[in-house]
Amino acid sequence: MKSPGPDEAERRLVAGLQPVREAIRARAGALDRVVLAKKVNPRLDALERFARDNGVGRVERAPVAMLDRACHGVSHQGAIAWAPPLELCPLEQILGRPALLAVALDGVQDPQNFGAVIRSAVAMGNAAILWGERGSAPLTSATFRASSGAVEHASLCRVRSLRGALMEAVSMGVSVVGLDPQSPQTLHETDLTGPTILVIGGEHAGLGRGVRRVTTALARVAKPGFVDSLNASVAAAVALYESTIQREKSVT
């Protein structure tokens, strides 16, 4: 496997069996190449056939050590690919959705949490994901890996100021619901059937003061007891599920 050239170095590295498979599924014609470990493995063999059948121009086999060097510590499972940068949606497009459901991440810095939230958002009706330019985990190979390839199908929106974006949403009649383990109101008691943005606080500080002030409601996910709060990605998944259930019931 040759080292990436100047143009390829600008591309996005995707690592892992499922992330590479989803990258092929979503954008096979735009992939620079797929590189698989040179070893006997039925899953890698199947992925090679899938890549070739979907028109990936360059499918190569290389020693595992070369994939290790390319990934800089990210688990690759013997499969990597170079893909074009992800397309980000403008805020106006997201807020213009008539049945808007989105998750806003306020200071979520763990790429594993970021990726897991993306996976849940795609699974629950392709809810959009919003986050601010500062204080949030970046879109990296670790994030792509944690999303298990769901990032290839996600509606992603990075904004300059999360608080400003949420204020704009409120002005357009969108419900901005912050998850707060101390809220007396439960998520189940909160109306999530209209255009809604669910706000998830950071792993350590929770919701920031400025973001909290612009929410239209606060709600808790977990019942009071031995556990005060849930992991950010778990809380997002529960909130998205509750939103989906409410919406399905509202149209029956």
In whole angstroms, what is the distance from residue 13 CA to residue 94 CA?
26
The pLDDT of residue 10: 63
In this prediction, residue 182 carries a pLDDT of: 87
For residues 81 and 32, give the distance between their C-alpha atoms in angstroms, rounded to a whole number: 7
pLDDT of residue 228: 59
Question: Residue 178 is inside which H or E element, if any?
Answer: strand 175-179
Spell 69-78 as b/e; 16+ CB within 10 A means b: ebbeebebbb
Q: What does 58-80 look like in DSSP terms, one character per residue?
A: -EEEE-HHHHHHHHTT---TTEE
pLDDT in tens, the chain (252 residues): 444 443 444 688 999 999 999 999 998 888 889 999 998 899 999 999 999 999 998 999 999 999 999 988 888 999 999 999 999 999 999 999 989 999 999 988 889 999 999 999 999 878 999 999 887 878 888 888 889 889 999 999 999 999 999 999 999 999 999 999 889 999 999 999 999 999 999 877 789 999 999 999 999 987 765 555 678 889 999 999 999 999 998 886
All structural domains of the chain: 6-83 (3.30.1330.30), 91-250 (3.40.1280.10)
Give the C-alpha separation, 101 to 239, whole Å: 11
